[in-house]
Amino acid sequence: MKTEWTADQIQSLLERQKAFFRSNVTLDVNWRLTQLKNLKKAVTQFQPKIEAALAADLGRSPTEAYFSDIGSSLVEINEAIHGLKRWAKPETHFSGLMCFPSIITKVYKMPFGNTLIISPYNFPILLSLAALTASLAGGNTAVIKASSKSPACTAVLQELIASVFPSEYVTVVDGGHDTADLLLGARFDKIFYTGSSEVASHVLSLAAGNLTPVALELGGETGNWCVIRADADLKDAARKIAFFKLCNSGQICININQVAVAEEIADVFLSELKMAFEKQIGKAPLQNKEYPHLITPAAFDKCRNKADTYKDRILFGGHGDSTTLRFEPTIIFPVSIEEDIVRHELFSPLLPVVPFPDREIDRVLDTIAAREHGLALYLFTKDIVWAKRVMSSQQYGGGCINEVCLQLMAKNVPFNGTGHSGMGAYHGEWGFREFTHPSTVLIGSNHGNLSLREHPYSGKKNVYKKHLIQWLER
């Protein structure tokens, strides 16, 4: 595995990819479909190696590895294979009377060219291959900068990609922040970054030097809220929330960062949540080999230190094992909506719970709305009319009513954030759109051209031009 890249090496790689793109081979939709089918086959063949790498980097069980990364990647590739010909078909439009007699206009879906994909450690396979699928479907070349925090997965990605594609078409680059900065300083045509809001600002600043368009998929600076009303099905809510916080040990961009629960039912909900955690992961989660661990010692220490700050309010969990990097799912209650722990993304199994009088739900929502926009919002209630009204008025990336996380897996819909949780969208056709730009081409006519647009505009013979233009453009 290569660990050090120089600016000259990166520029050489980019020049080779530019030359490959200029050969126009990627413009052929059937050729793109072949590449996507080859990628799908490789993912299937590499399944055992991917499972082993996810276990090494994150402590994932084979089932969670397949559900979260491998199977989800295959779903993304399949959707592109099935939809690409329809997505890529040029659109035909009526040009309008002002353009007569040139009445036909085409819109071509053109690739950007050479794309840079910067993927994170928490879902190192899925969040690399999903963006890659969209890029290849769009007819681009790609360089994937994989995370240095998940070295086993980066190594497998490098092997997988090299087994399918020549480096002038797709390649995986390892290394740390210095390598990422060298890549960001190069002249790519599109950048797709998944990670934190803090780093995203840095990505945008470097991309601005080349006026490179950027898509950002971020976790949200102040975290994703889950609101539980007094009328909610508490057993169902607890079961789903427990599953979500256990998945990848909370290291998920759309995970629930904090819960706001109606104080009238808070005790019952907390009791149900404790039972749900124990039922799913056992009473000794630190010894459960199916329970994922935090990515690095630094991430573990950050989680433990935050838990220690609130140790007097820990109702469940609160312990970790620095040798395995596992930290128990941890309920912290009660927490004020103004406290520091609910103002920042935690990216861990810590779960602060904020009680509120159910009648004051509007105040809670106003507070959430006043902070940076989250990537997700989750509501549990039997009042679906109210829930739909909230979902259609708040600012956030996506979310669920009486469910968690599945907005990420729904087909034919976009995945995206807004504000500090991101810009741009992908998955399915939305990913194809993100990695292409529409080019409008009017097809001119040699016959029947009107002289309305041409000088002269004055004089008795030409006074009709303005009146006719006003009529046509009314």
The single residue of 247, 253, 303, 400 carrying the catalytic annotation is: 253
| 443 occurs within a structural domain | no
Same domain for 246 and 126, yes or no, is no
Note the pLDDT of residue 459: 84
| 135 occurs within a structural domain | yes
| 387 occurs within a structural domain | yes
Note the pLDDT of residue 100: 87
Cα distances (Å, whole numbers) of residue 372 to 72, 144, 191, 256: 29, 29, 23, 15
Take residue 8 and report the two structure tokens written for it.
Answer: 């000259």
CATH number for the domain that contains residue 341:
3.40.309.10
| 327 occurs within a structural domain | yes
Same domain for 133 and 204, yes or no, is yes
| 19 occurs within a structural domain | yes
Annotated catalytic residue 253: yes
Strands 214-218 and 190-195: parallel
CATH number for the domain that contains residue 49:
3.40.605.10
Same domain for 268 and 367, yes or no, is yes
Note the pLDDT of residue 467: 84
Same domain for 271 and 170, yes or no, is no
Same domain for 301 and 210, yes or no, is no
DSSP β-bridge partners for residue 94 = 104
Note the pLDDT of residue 3: 63
HSE toward the beta carbon, residue 127, CA cutoff 13 A: 26
Same domain for 144 and 279, yes or no, is no
Task: Find out whether 121 and 294 touch, Cβ atoms under 8 Å.
Answer: no
Task: Find out whether 452 and 461 touch, Cβ atoms under 8 Å.
Answer: no
Each residue's pLDDT, cut to its tens digit, for the chain (474 residues) gives: 456 899 999 999 999 999 999 999 999 999 999 999 999 999 999 999 999 999 999 999 999 999 999 999 999 999 999 999 999 999 999 998 888 899 999 999 999 999 999 999 999 999 999 999 999 999 999 999 999 999 999 999 999 999 999 999 999 999 999 999 999 999 999 999 999 999 999 999 999 999 999 999 998 889 999 999 999 999 999 999 999 999 999 999 999 999 999 999 999 999 999 999 999 999 999 999 999 999 999 999 999 999 999 999 999 999 999 999 999 999 999 999 999 999 999 999 999 999 999 999 999 999 999 999 999 999 999 999 999 999 999 999 999 999 999 999 898 899 999 999 999 999 999 999 999 999 999 999 988 887 888 888 888 878 888 888 888 787
Best CA proximity match to 414, nearest among 223, 217, 143, 240: 217
Cα end-to-end span (Å), the chain: 64
| 76 occurs within a structural domain | yes
Q: Give the integer Cα–Cα distance in Å for 218 and 216.
A: 6
Task: Find out whether 347 and 219 touch, Cβ atoms under 8 Å.
Answer: yes
Same domain for 171 and 273, yes or no, is no
Take residue 287 and report the two structure tokens written for it.
Answer: 């010894």
Strands 258-262 and 350-356: parallel
| 466 occurs within a structural domain | no
Range of the domain at 74: 7-220+424-437
> 3-state class of 388 per DSSP?
helix
Same domain for 88 and 112, yes or no, is yes
Number of domains in the chain: 2
Same domain for 215 and 301, yes or no, is no
Note the pLDDT of residue 292: 98
Annotated catalytic residue 217: yes
The single residue of 217, 221, 429, 434 carrying the catalytic annotation is: 217
Same domain for 209 and 247, yes or no, is no
Task: Find out whether 435 and 140 touch, Cβ atoms under 8 Å.
Answer: yes
Take residue 28 and report the two structure tokens written for it.
Answer: 């052929």
Same domain for 203 and 243, yes or no, is no
Same domain for 19 and 85, yes or no, is yes
